[in-house]
Structure 1
C-alpha cells in the first residue's frame, strides 16, 4: 500500500495521523509542487484532480483525504477510529462532511489569505476574504466549542478520524491569525489530541513548511 502526500498539507496530516494511529505498514512518497510532481501524467492517472493525498492499495486507488482515512480505518483499523453502530458511524461521517463544508473551509480561507499567499505566492491577502473567513470561523467554532463542552472528542467519548480531520489545520491557526483563542473547549480538545503519539508525530509533515516560515523571519 502506498500514499502520496505533500509536506505542510493539513489534509495530508490527517491521513498520516491515521496511518500512525493504526500502525500501518505504508509506503509514503512526498511529492513536491515546485517540481511539478502533481502535474505528471503518471500521477494524474492516480488522482485526476492532481491534488494530494492519494492512496494506492493493490489495484484500488482512492483520493479525498477523509475517504482515505475512512477506508484505512474500516479496512485495517480493527475497530479503531471508525466503528460502532450505524448511528455512531453516521455521526462520525456527519462531522467529516461538516469539516470540509464549513469548519475548515472557514479557517482555510483565512490561512490562504494571511499565511500561504504571502509566504509561498508572494501575494498579499484579500482583506474582504479574511474578514469573511473570520466571521465564518467564529460561527462554526462556536458550534464545535459548544459540542465539545459535552464530549471529550468530536464524535463522543472516543477518538475517531473526525478528530484528526477537524484538527488538521490547527498547527497553522496561530501564525495565520485564525481567531481560535476564545474557544476554550476547542483548546482543551486540542490538548487531549496532543496526548496521542500518532497525532503529535504526524506534525512532522509540517517540517518543510515550518523551515520556510523560519527562513522568512
Structure 2
C-alpha cells in the first residue's frame, strides 16, 4: 500500500486523485506543511511525499510521473513524441497556472507578513487569465489535453482549477475551457478524491 504524507487540502490532492484513478490502495498521514513529519523526509517542508516501500518521493509532479510510469497508465512512454507534448502541458501547468496561484498564495498567507507583496496578486490574476487563454488555444478536439487519453497534466490543471476557485481567481463561465474543467470534475477518480478531502477536514 502506498502512503501519502501531507494534509489532503494541498498538492497531496493530485496524488490522491491519481491513485484513485489507478485504483491503487493508499493511506494518508495528514502532516501539515513545515511539520516535523514532512521535514523528516523533505527538508523544504513541502507536501506531499509518497512512500512506496523503501522509496520516498517528494514533489507532486515527480510523484505523479513515477506512479504513471510504474503502472503504465495515464501517460505516454518516455521518448515518444506524445510524451514530449504531454510533458510540455505539464510544464505549462506548473510554470503558468500554478506559478500564478502559488505566488499569490505566498503573498497572502504563506510567507511571513513582512515578506509579502500584496500588490503582486493583481499581476498573478492577469498571468493566470493569460494562461487560461493559452490553454484554450492549445486544447484540441479530444476531451483531454492529450486527446482521448487522460494524463498527468489533466490532473495538474484540474487541481489548479480547484485552487483558483478557492483563491477567488476568475474561471471562464462557458466555452471550451469551462467544458474541459467540467469533464475533469465528472471523473470518478476526482469525485472519490474530493470526498476523501472533505472527510479529512
TM-score bucket of the superposed structures, by smaller chain: 0.7 to 0.9
Give the structure 2 partner of residue 39 of structure 1. 35
Is the aligned partner of 1:105 residue 2:135? no
Residue by residue over 1:142-179, the C-alpha shift from the partner in whole angstroms, topping out at 9 and shown as x without a partner, is 01011225442122321111100111132242342212
Matched residue count: 197
Q: Contact between 2:101 and 2:163, CA under 8 Å: does it hold in 1? A: no
Partner SS for 2:24: coil
Residue by residue over 1:91-136, the C-alpha shift from the partner in whole angstroms, topping out at 9 and shown as x without a partner, is 22222122211121113334555xx639xx999x855212101111
Q: Contact between 1:55 and 1:61, CA under 8 Å: does it hold in 2? A: yes
Q: Contact between 1:111 and 1:173, CA under 8 Å: does it hold in 2? A: no
In structure 1, how many angstroms separate the alpha carbons of the residues matched to 2:197 and 2:117? 25
In structure 2, how many angstroms separate the alpha carbons of the residues matched to 1:175 and 1:26? 26
Taking structure 1 as reference, are residues 110 and 182 closer, same or farther at Cα in structure 2, changes over 3 Å only?
Answer: farther
Q: Contact between 1:149 and 1:185, CA under 8 Å: does it hold in 2? A: no
Taking structure 1 as reference, are residues 112 and 188 closer, same or farther at Cα in structure 2, changes over 3 Å only?
Answer: farther
Partner SS for 1:2: strand
User: TM-score normalized by structure 1?
Assistant: 0.78
In structure 2, how many angstroms separate the alpha carbons of the residues matched to 1:193 and 1:174? 15
Give the structure 2 partner of residue 81 of structure 1. 74
In structure 1, how many angstroms separate the alpha carbons of the residues matched to 2:169 and 2:199? 21
In structure 2, how many angstroms separate the alpha carbons of the residues matched to 1:171 and 1:43? 24
The runs of at least 4 consecutive aligned structure 1 residues that moved more than 6 Å come to none
Taking structure 1 as reference, are residues 56 and 161 closer, same or farther at Cα in structure 2, changes over 3 Å only?
Answer: same
User: TM-score normalized by structure 2?
Assistant: 0.84
Q: Whose helix fraction is larger, Structure 1's or Structure 2's?
A: 1
Give the structure 2 partner of residue 215 of structure 1. none
Give the structure 2 partner of residue 2 of structure 1. 3
Residue by residue over 1:27-53, the C-alpha shift from the partner in whole angstroms, topping out at 9 and shown as x without a partner, is 2211135xxxx432x543311222111
Give the structure 2 partner of residue 91 of structure 1. 85
Q: CA deviation at 1:87?
A: 1.4
**Alignment partner of 2:121 out of 111, 130, 133:** 130
Asked which structure has the greater RCO (Cα within 8 Å, sep 6+), the reply is 1
Give the structure 2 partner of residue 48 of structure 1. 43
Give the structure 2 partner of residue 13 of structure 1. 13
In structure 2, how many angstroms separate the alpha carbons of the residues matched to 1:69 and 1:21? 11
Q: Contact between 1:8 and 1:206, CA under 8 Å: does it hold in 2? A: yes
For structure 2, the residue ranges without an aligned partner over 5 or more in a row are none
